[in-house]
Amino acid sequence: MDATPFFQLLYWDALTEKEQNLVEENIRTLRFEKNALVLGGGDCLGLLLVTKGRLRAYLLSEEGREVTVFRVGPGECCVLSASCVMSQIHFETHMEAEEESELLLLGSGVFRQLTEENVSIRCFLYEMAAERFSEVLWVMQQILFMGFDRRLALFLVEACRRAGGQQLKVTHEQIARDLGSAREVVTRMLRRFSEEGLVELGRGTVTVKAPEGLERLADG
């Protein structure tokens, strides 16, 4: 199996031939249906690469409330799924498949061996972790310092970019789960957006009617 996507930027060439063979012999393909749980809090699968679909990473409170912290799309890696390899970091992330997904997995045991033996892979690990933590901090900043109207506008703008269009197939409950809020709060704010001509609400859909207006609100 071709393992080079994991290290296609710089890191594959930094591996010895023995290490390259080790990676190629231990890559597994995983497939998940939409909404399937990929990673539970505290799990340590290893290094994941999405080849098809999209994953949603989220934090889960003791009360069961979720807040999305980042997404992993095709061609992107996730190292937080190998958190046990990073002894200085303790971060319990849950992850689900937002759509039917296919992943490549390099198990945590082999990945740990590579990081211990090869400084380039250790650099890769901490660079990728730093990128993800930057996304997590951005979400925390939104929660702590932004009004909910701006957070919802940001969500809709980003969702349109991912979907490649202005009609979003999403429920109020899904938006609330994504933003770590209550469905009633989302419904009230969407109704306000609808009254202002920013969106049009349908059954299981939100259609953005004035993207420029939402972007201005999202930009603060």
**pLDDT per position as a tens digit, 115-124:** 999 998 888 8
- What is the pTM assigned to this prediction? 0.85
Q: Which of 143, 167, 191 represents a domain boundary (last residue)? A: 143
Residue whose pair of structure tokens reads 């990929």 in the numeric block: 38
Residue 112: how many other CB atoms lie within 10 Å: 18
Query: How far is residue 69's CA from residue 130's CA, in Å, rounded to a whole number?
Result: 14
Q: What is the pLDDT of residues 173-199, one digit of tens each?
A: 999 999 999 999 999 999 999 999 999
Residues 68 and 158 reside in one and the same domain: no
Number of domains in the chain: 2
CATH of the domain at 43: 2.60.120.10
Q: CA 59, CA 67: separation in Å to the nearest integer?
A: 5
End-of-domain residue from the set 93, 122, 143: 143
What is the residue whose two structure tokens read 């990673």?
A: 39
Nearest partner of 155 among 71, 78, 77, 92, judged by Cα: 71
138: number of Cβ within 10 Å: 12
CA–CA dist 167, 163 (Å, integer): 8
What does the chain look like in DSSP terms, one character per residue? ---GGGGTTTHHHHS-HHHHHHHHHHEEEEEE-TT-EEE-TT---EEEEEEES-EEEEEE-TTS-EEEEEEE-TT-EESGGGGGG-TT-----EEEESSSEEEEEEEHHHHHHHHHH-HHHHHHHHHHHHHHHHHHHHHHHHHHHS-HHHHHHHHHHHHHHHHTSSEE---HHHHHHHHT--HHHHHHHHHHHHHTTSEEEETTEEEES-HHHHHHHHT-
**Structure confidence by residue, pLDDT tens digits, 29-62:** 999 999 999 998 778 899 999 999 999 999 988 8
Do 133 and 201 reside in the same domain of the chain?
no
Residue identified by tokens 């889960």 is 60
Pairing of strands 46-52, 101-107: antiparallel
Contact 180, 67 (CB under 8 A): yes
Q: Which of 143, 159, 187 is the last residue of a domain?
A: 143
Q: What is the pLDDT of residues 64-104, one digit of tens each?
A: 889 999 999 998 988 888 888 876 666 678 999 999 999 99
**Residues 37, 139: one domain?**
yes
